[in-house]
Amino acid sequence: MTTDVHPESGLRKATLTDQDLVETSWDHCRIHALAVTDDEGPPDDPTLDYREDDDLDPTAPSALQLHLDLDYIVRRVDPGPMRQIHFWVAPSTLIFHNVWDIVGSLHSVCLPFELKDLRPEAPAQSGEPCWRLEGRDLDLRFQASGYTLHLRQPPRYGNRVLRMAERGGISFDPKPFA
């Protein structure tokens, strides 16, 4: 028996992974920010002579991560005809791990991005997983070992897009609320 971490919204867990893909819906999730980061960084020993390009090894797995700060729609509540649709929404951080070979397009910097779909595609020749992020003014394809979605706050009932003050601004914090 599993216990929901947020019974009102029906949310079962505050951290989801690519293993939960069948249970997740990405339609109309607002993307507030995205970033590509490298968590490897310089060596811990400050006495070493370090050059950024010394550490490139084309055979090593990628240390890049793709981060998205988004409003994840936990559940849509449709009250019936002629009534406003409400949602259970949580500010969330979606992180793709070991990312490489990113291609695609971002068509607008004026309108906010919204996800329509996130899905795996046929593996690359290397056999590594490929992913596709599709949305309004957004179409990205890349290879990544998987993803983790961290819901940073309990879901809120209301509109499908949270105000910046409600969500605590832009954040890529990987800590779930529960």
The answer to whether residue 4 is domain-embedded is no
Range of the domain at 91: 15-40+59-163
Q: Kindly report the CA angle at 142 between 139 and 146, in degrees rounded to 5?
A: 115
pLDDT at 125: 73
Decide if 102 contacts 132 (C-beta within 8 A).
no
Q: Kindly list the averaged pLDDT for each block of 10 residues, start to end, along the chain of length 178.
A: 84 95 92 85 56 54 88 91 89 95 86 91 79 93 94 96 96 96
Instruction: Tell me how far apart the alpha carbons of residues 169 and 152 are, in angstroms, rounded to a whole number.
Output: 12
The verdict on residue 48 lying in a domain is no
CA 150 – CA 178 distance, rounded (Å): 10
What single-letter amino acid sits at 70? L
Residue 47 maps to a domain: no
Whether residue 74 lies inside any domain: the answer is yes
Total domains present in the chain? 1
In a domain, 158, yes or no: yes
Residue 45 domain-assigned (yes or no)? no
Instruction: Check residue 81 and give its pLDDT.
Output: 78
pLDDT of residue 58: 56
How far is 76 from 109, CA to CA, in rounded Å? 28
Fill in the amino acid letter for 125: Q
Question: Residue 149 pairs with which residues in a beta bridge?
Answer: 16, 94
**49 in a domain, yes or no?**
no
Q: Residue 9 domain-assigned?
A: no
C-alpha gyration radius of the chain: 18
pLDDT at 69: 97
